[in-house]
Structure 1
Amino acid sequence: MPSNKTMDDKALRVWEDSRDLAAELEQSIHEVLVGQCKAVAVSSVVAARLQSGLSQSQFSKLLGVSVRTLQEWEQGRRKPSGAAQTLLVIAQRHPEVLRELA
């Protein structure tokens, strides 16, 4: 992407048409194979869900929130409330409890 500025539809189409997706994919695969890929930071919410082994749907249902709310937390756009934060700490420290409840 050329910059973080918002593009209009025409500029976006021009930029997309100029891309060589095959070359970009090949470059990405090469970077992974030679260990040049960057680590991706995982939020504590994602970590808790992954440790539980539950899907977003299952995890959100156990926490009593919508899947969309969980996604907002996982992507860092929103912060869980105090009670939800406590449940997430429990989920992270004792994922077996969530698996048992599921």
Structure 2
Amino acid sequence: MSDAFKSIEQGLKEAIAHARGGEAVTIHEIDIPDADVQAIRARTGLSQAEFARSIGVKKATLLNWEQRRRAPDGPARVLLALIDKDPSIVQRTLAG
């Protein structure tokens, strides 16, 4: 068995035990601050269209975030927090 399979198998066993009221499971919570999307994008040096494309959202979505009509949530918040800490993380990580 591969290490990945063993890890997945262990996770499933822990989930089943937790669901049955068994042993306590460690839950990791991370506080993600509200994102200033316009400032984050500006630090990347990308246009709105380029930035939206680089993070996999529509330009209209990005505009709504930048103008604070809507707020990013879930994975988008995490991704923006990462970009806030390291503006070139997406390009560097996904570069072919």
Greater fraction of residues in helix: 1
1:76 is aligned to 68
2:79 is aligned to 87
Does the Cα contact within 8 Å between 1:53 and 1:99 map onto a contact in 2?
no
2:42 aligned with 1:53, yes or no?
Answer: no
Aligned residue pair count: 60
Which stretch has the larger CA shift, 92-101 or 66-75? 92-101
Does the Cα contact within 8 Å between 1:52 and 1:98 map onto a contact in 2?
no
- Superposed displacement of residue 98, structure 1: 3.1
Does the Cα contact within 8 Å between 1:54 and 1:99 map onto a contact in 2?
no
2:36 aligned with 1:44, yes or no?
Answer: yes
> Structure 1 segments of 4 or more deviating over 6 A?
none
Does the Cα contact within 8 Å between 1:48 and 1:92 map onto a contact in 2?
yes
1:2-41 to structure 2, matched below 5 A, reads none
The answer for unaligned runs of 5 or more in structure 2 is: 1-34
User: Equivalents in 2 of 1:62, 1:81: separation in Å?
Assistant: 17
TM-score (norm 1): 0.53
- Superposed displacement of residue 94, structure 1: 0.4
- Which amino acid counterpart does residue 48 of structure 2 have in structure 1? Q
**SS, match of residue 95 in structure 1:** coil
